Amino acid sequence: MLTVRKATLDDVRDIVSVHTADEDLSSLSVGERYLHGGPWMSVETCSAHINALLIEKQLPVVAELEGRVVGEAETFFSTEPISGKVLKIAHIDVIEVHPDFRRAGIGRALVGFIENVAIERGLSL
């Protein structure tokens, strides 16, 4: 059964596994991994990144299938002037599904969860 929920720091190792599933980064340093693909490439940088999102009340989410994290997404909430009005908006900044689980509705489930949270936070879709 697929479950989507807010990510925690306990999910960092699994989030890194999703983002690096088709990469061999074993010979790279933490800094080189970051330059190769961002904070999701190592546990050290991903933990700082996810922690910052959580502190700022942003929305990192994971999709679990039978207890295994198979997808991750990150959403930033802000207010911005649009057409003369200041509106609350959500930006889906990152969405990644493990290569073995793509085309199975996991990305759609992540987006659906984010849409529900956006509505709860007062955004209109």
For every one of its 125 residues, what pLDDT tens digit does the chain have, with 9 covering 90 and above?
999 999 999 999 999 999 999 988 989 999 999 998 999 999 999 999 999 999 999 999 999 999 999 999 999 999 888 889 888 999 999 999 999 999 999 999 999 999 999 999 988 66
What pLDDT score does 90 carry?
92
What pLDDT score does 23 carry?
87
Domain coordinates of the chain in residue numbers?
A: 2-120
Q: So what CATH class is 2-120?
A: alpha beta
What pLDDT score does 40 carry?
94
pTM of the predicted model as reported, rounded to 2 decimal places: 0.91
The DSSP-derived string for the chain is -EEEEE--GGGHHHHHHHHTTT---TTS-HHHHHHHH-GGGSHHHHHHHHHHHHHTT-EEEEEEETTEEEEEEEEEEEEEEETTEEEEEEEEEEEEE-GGGTTSSHHHHHHHHHHHHHHHTT---
